[in-house]
Amino acid sequence: MGELIDTAARGCLSKMAISPGKTGEAADYALCLDETRLPLNARLGQPLRLSWTGAIACTNCGRATKKSFAQGHCYPCFKRLASCDTCIMKPETCHFFAGTCREPEWGERHCFQPHVVYLANSSGLKVGITRRTQVPTRWLDQGAIQALPIIEVDTRQQSGFVEMLFKEEVSDRTNWRAMLKGDVESMDLVAERDRLLAKLEGGLSGLRERFGADAIRVLDDAPRHLDYPVLEFPRKIVSHNFDKVAEVEGTLMGLKGQYLILDTGVINLRKFTGYEIQVA
């Protein structure tokens, strides 16, 4: 049986599959290697070893690549795919409207659908955007302990403009060290939402004039609490990196965001998407 599991636990990494726990329960994690999903919560407190074989396969075309671009792509795919273009990170610079979208059909499917602007608490207050369908995955991937959708729009570009506005008042970044140390105070996201909506009223009116009165819709959602399976948070953050040391080994102490927390250090698995890994 042991042999069977070992064979199954070799493959190319994709980001961990995280599902929200039921109320009061921690999120459920699985390590994803090709088609194999290894449940991780049950391995908390146990030794875990991940070894990189030295191979990287492009998550789009499957070709071998020496280096990974934009989280698991070969260079040609990185230059060709709309999902790897700069406007994904900066939606307000959407190429579709300029007629320069790399893949207009993909853009129509991906960017012309409801997006939400949310407030989250990952290492303090932050603003972010995501497709409606990516809630709550996006928050779990970021290690947010609280999140609240505040505005809904019809396109990714519009969500970019709303986020730009909120960035005048709130960061869009997570301090991942603070997030992993677990020293994040709970906050009143509803009060923060109301404060920001009042403060940014002028800017929001401007966007409504530009995109239509119904384009920028304020939501009245309830805040979401998210819990993570962590036995013990690290006091000091040391990072593992397959590019420097191919063997990552330690006792699994926790899972938060896309990080494994081992007693020997932490590792952001998303950074190593496409890396061929042997797990033991």
Closest to 148 measured CA to CA, from 137, 165, 156, 136:
136
8 A C-beta contact, residue 132 and residue 114: yes
Q: Which is nearer to Zn ion, 27 or 77 (CB)?
A: 77
Q: Using CB under 5 A as the criterion, which residues of the chain lie in contact with Zn ion when the complex forms?
A: 58, 60-61, 74, 77
In terms of Cβ atoms closer than 10 Å to its own Cβ (0-12, 13-18, 19+), residue 222 is exposed
Closer to Zn ion by Cβ: residue 84 or 237: 84
**Residues 110 and 83: beta-carbon distance below 8 Å:** yes
Query: Rounded to the nearest whole angstrom, what is the least distance from the CB of residue 76 to Zn ion in the complex?
Result: 6
C-alpha pair distances (Å), 15 with each of 37, 110, 173, 174: 11, 19, 19, 18
> Which lies closer to Zn ion via its Cβ, residue 61 or residue 238?
61
Closest distance of CB 30 from Zn ion, Å:
25
Amino acid at 204: L
Closest approach of Cβ 272 to Zn ion, in Å? 16
As measured in angstroms, the least distance from the Cβ of 58 to Zn ion is: 3
* Of 101, 211, 105, 103, nearest in space to 155 by CA: 211
Q: Which is nearer to Zn ion, 63 or 167 (CB)?
A: 63
Could you tell me which of 28, 89, 10, 77 has the C-alpha nearest to residue 280? Answer: 10
As a dihedral over the C-alpha atoms of residue 9, residue 15, residue 270, residue 170, rounded to 10 degrees, the angle is -160
Q: How far is the CB of 67 from Zn ion (least distance, A)?
A: 12
Closer residue to Zn ion in complex, CB, 58/111: 58
Closest contact distance (angstroms) between CB of 60 and Zn ion is: 5
> Which CB sits closer to Zn ion, 80 or 131?
80
Reading the block at residue 205, the tokens are 């009116």
| Residue with token string 């071998």 | 64
